Chains A and B, each alone.
Chain A
Amino acid sequence: MHELSIVTSVVESVTESLAAYPGARVLEVRLRVGALTSVVVESLEFCWGIAAEGTPLEGAKLAVNVLPVVMHCEPCAQDVELEGVQSFRCPRCGQPCAEMRQGRELEIDSIEIDDGEVKP
């Protein structure tokens, strides 16, 4: 996919948020990426250094948490986690599931910052 434009958006978005924390240095940016987004984690990591260079995020680590697809199974009346994205059937009862509960996320979860303040 367009991993470079994704990490560029992340850099812009986090940089905006940093306005509220003057003097802070970003140590890590944590993303939540659903398994059904077609985003390649290795490619995100590769592009990250390029996108962050020369910005307040230069040197920050990128941590990507990949979330498995979770569907709601009507017959089982519960949410079930899929092992892959090749079949959208309930792994318990084998019935097809139409309602997705997790798997399309493309979010900035949180950032770890160093406030730069020395504790008294």
Chain B
Amino acid sequence: MTTRIVELRRGILKKNDELAAGLRASYAAAGVLVLNLVSSPGTGKTAFLERTLRELKARGARVAALVGDLETDNDARRLAASGAPVRQINTHGICHLDAEMIGKHIDGWEGVTLGGLDYLFIENVGNLVCPSSYDLGEKIRVVLLSVTEGEDKPLKYPTMFNSADAAVITKTDIAEPCGFDRETALRNINEIRPGIRIFETSAKTGAGMEEWLTYLERARTGVPG
């Protein structure tokens, strides 16, 4: 018997990473800003995204969204009310979106080309664990946290919060009845992802949306801040 060690040094998610790199290059070539929205189920990703799409559209931006769920096209129908093109991705049990699903749904998307867009939003499956490992080629990963969730969510799910580029606190209109401890939530987010940009928003009242939209516009045109 002759035993020996063979070095492989290979990423386990290499296939996804390669596909994501291809997507990233095609987004950049088309000049479209792509964002990946992640959160627990029930944080309010869809309501926040619907308002974002509507307001960007009103400012003359060309926007579209891909939305991932295990089943149903309910979210796609809700988002389509904004007037933006929306395509549903049903994962049928898979707990995250991956780069292959994104590529397949961009290809053959009737009436939509990357070159014809300023912003593409990807609403991931509601899950704070698995989507953290799957690069979708996005420029900005946005993690959302609602005031109805515990302020310690960032500490419980450090992998996701640490991988995010921006954080959005949602449902601030009901912060008070929920007994939301704002200072603690902000401190916990900063503890896990020091220096991250944080937006405090309400899709219902529109609070905080102006700052968020300005951030998006600057990110798209490459202006810092």
Contacts and interface: CB of A to CB of B under 8 A. Distances in A.
A86 B156 CA distance: 8
A89 interface: yes
A110 B13 contact: no
B114 to A, nearest CB: 28
A37 B159 contact: yes
A64 B1 CA distance: 25
A65 to B, nearest CB: 13
How many A residues are at the interface, by size bracket? 35 or more
Nearest to B157: A38
A96 B7 contact: no
Most A Cβ at <10 Å: residue of B10, B155, B163 = B10
B2 A119 contact: yes
Interface in A53-102: 85-89, 96-98, 100
Nearest to B160: A38
Nearest to B191: A87
A52 interface: no
A47 interface: no
Interface in B24-79: none
Contacts, number: 99
Contacts of A109: 7-9
A77 B13 CA distance: 32
Interface residues of B, number: 33
Contact of A107 (B4, B10, B15, B194): B10
Contacts of A6: 12
Interface stretch (B126-134, B166-174, B175-183, B205-213): B126-134
A115 B158 CA distance: 42
B111 interface: no
29 contacts: A9-B13, A10-B12, A13-B8, A17-B6, A27-B3, A36-B158, A36-B162, A37-B159, A87-B191, A88-B194, A89-B191, A96-B190, A98-B194, A98-B195, A104-B163, A106-B13, A108-B8, A108-B10, A110-B5, A110-B7, A110-B8, A110-B9, A112-B3, A113-B4, A114-B1, A114-B2, A115-B2, A117-B2, A119-B2
Interface of A: 1-2, 6, 9-10, 13-14, 17, 21, 27, 31, 36-38, 85-89, 96-98, 100, 104, 106-117, 119
